[in-house]
Chain A
């Protein structure tokens, strides 16, 4: 069964890029447009194997989203990768404190992305 990746990003461009790179690599992709939507998607039946989330998003940002995911017993052990354009480690550390598993630095190419997903997917 192909693995499922939930991508949470408010930018349509980014969502499309993630979608293309991940589906080309054989993943099934679910998409959410912000943290709130992402949490709603997780309430539904379809539990993803890996979550990729942006940080800067309306309604609920990446940090809040990650904390929300980690509070849900069902998704505590789901790997979360953070998309970040920030080179400063402060954002990265904050994301890790919230419970992020790893990160992907934007701009990314498909190989880098898939490699990072593969690294955290059991």
Chain B
């Protein structure tokens, strides 16, 4: 408390300085209403703080000063030189009062009184309206503000343990019948009838009866409407005023009748509720607070918010999910289910350190395994078995540690509605945002670096994708455009789609622009996909005049680069007149990877296991040549391109005989297939990803590197890039089964 008091006086110094500066500015002819407001707030804050510390003299004067300033603020009082002079003197006195309060002294009351009267006099006619000055009004102010908050008697119905100690003897109990019908406005203010009932229950034994006769059928139900009412029977020693106090916050937003019942049926309630008086000292009573908090926890954990009888009445009687019934049910459910989860906040650095250590642990465990094998121990030896357990544990630790960093993408998605509103306002377009899969979890690092690309793509979608309302109506679409942002997991990656229902990519314009910018030759023949991908070329911008919206910040090329930096890929699908979809596919974590370890020309490489569908041994009759160097392999009833990794990465100049190696059938993000030819498969292993870019530079076809159990470095293949580079046809996801001549030879 003393520390806060010190803060208060410190803040007072600043406020008083602001006050003086503001008044001087006003004296100098400043007419900005905000200046008057600031002056008012300064005095107001001094008063508020002083009130909290019981600095009566200060409060009294500040109140008078504030009232006069309020008149100035509302232009009831003209801002004249004389007025400001008095106010500056008042500010000086206020400063003196603050200093006096700080040293525990009192100023001469007469001086305060005189200036207070002068301030009141300023308001002239308004003086009559404002309170008479002097000690009495100050006291009134202090006490009068205290209106409704009388010390409450807290009664727990389950107080068999006599909590609170000081059991008060209740003289007489009265039965009350309370009819409580909330209006819709009650819900709009976030009030909850269940909470009001909870308040009442603190007063005594409460019987709750629900009236739901007004509840319409679901079709007619207005989710914002109010249909429920309660008839409550309360047995308490509290007065009617105490009962009405429970309804204080909902006063005016409900129909309320409180009537006393003359004939109490005494036998029904035998147990007399014990009451613990709540301390109401102005001084902070920590013990009382703790006791209160504990009692509260105890009462809510026990699910004792409602009596079982009351619950039984509410629950089965409310078949429709009405908004009014929901809170009551929710409270009950929460109490019944309530396996309360607790959270702690941890410095991110610590988590990262843990993740690094676990990464090292994984490597170390792999090395140990290797050593055991090298030592010639049999797999059934105790050491080897223990090592298996260790591997299992390591994996679980790793998963758990990763889960610490996993966060729902909600934090990114949440920022978008505001962005949409701003852009919609700036572009004059009507936009509705639909989000899906907000709960999809992904590593925190990925999330942090997702915001900018998503933000930019949404800007793009609205600015370039969606048409103006009039154009949309002309095209037979609703005037309001839709942007959909969805996230989901697919084969170990997180996929984020940004879809708009706009005009789609104007490929002719994109092409013209690219030619104009010299990005492609005028006679170049491009597929639709290639045209769309021109958007990602550095220096490309389709808007004739770079608009304020999309032009801000980064271009699509930067978006693509930042997505690639996350180990992700971005693809476009667009249909003229129907809209476009931008798809981001990203790894869930940037730290580990399940890999298939393979040998290629003496080198050890790792292929991400998530990309590998199956492995197969090419046979001479399943492999065909295609063109001068291309090869395809028959996989069941389809042909897929066969890519020799060794040749592709430049380990060797001529491809090996396909039949001497093993092919990994892999799939890329858009469902394209390819078979990667390697010399041999070593096995599957979890590897810790070490960035190649940060240690060396980006290499096409290589995603990253890792350290193997034997300490050697292995490169991790970028399967998508390899497929993209080697794709024989330029069309996306070539489906070889659409190739009749080959299909004929396959079977």
Contact = CB atoms under 8 A, between A and B. Distances in A.
Contacts of B199: 119
A13 B8 contact: yes
A11 B190 contact: no
B37 A58 contact: yes
Contact of A100 (B11, B34, B189, B282): B189
B33 to A, nearest CB: 12
B141 A87 contact: yes
B52 interface: yes
Contacts of A94: none
Given A58-B41, A101-B249, A105-B147, A122 B49 contact: no
Nearest to B294: A26
Interface stretch (B411-419, B600-608, B699-707): B411-419
B249 A119 contact: yes
B653 interface: no
A99 B141 CA distance: 26
A85 B149 contact: no
Contact of B190 (A21, A26, A76): A76
Interface size class on chain A is 35 or more
Contact of A16 (B4, B44, B292, B414): B4
Interface in A79-116: 79-80, 85, 87, 96, 99-103, 105-112, 114-116
Nearest to A24: B289
A12 B330 CA distance: 36
Interface in A1-59: 1-2, 10-14, 16-17, 20-21, 24-26, 43-45, 56-58
A24 B8 contact: no
B414 to A, nearest CB: 7
A85 B11 contact: no
Nearest to B149: A112
Contacts of A1: 340-343
A11 B45 contact: yes
Interface of B is mostly: helix
Given A13-B8, A25-B293, A87 B145 contact: yes
Interface string A59-82: 000000000001000101111100
Given A56-B41, A105-B149, A85 B47 contact: yes
B2 to A, nearest CB: 11
A25 B195 CA distance: 19
A13 B7 contact: yes
A57 B45 CA distance: 10
B280 A111 contact: yes
Contacts of A10: 41, 45
B188 interface: yes
Interface in B139-180: 141-142, 144-149, 151-152
B50 to A, nearest CB: 8
Interface in B110-160: 141-142, 144-149, 151-152
User: For B45, B191, B415, which residue has the most chain A Cβ atoms within 10 angstroms?
Assistant: B45
A107 B149 CA distance: 11
B688 interface: no
14 contacts: A13-B49, A20-B4, A43-B418, A45-B414, A56-B45, A58-B37, A99-B188, A102-B248, A106-B145, A109-B280, A111-B280, A112-B149, A116-B149, A121-B195
Given A76-B188, A85-B47, 17 more contacts: A14-B45, A17-B4, A56-B37, A58-B38, A58-B41, A85-B44, A85-B145, A87-B147, A99-B189, A106-B51, A107-B282, A109-B283, A115-B149, A120-B249, A121-B195, A122-B192, A122-B195
Ranked nearest first, the 8 interchain pairs of A and B with the lowest CB-CB distance are: A107-B51, A102-B249, A13-B8, A13-B49, A11-B45, A107-B52, A45-B411, A16-B4
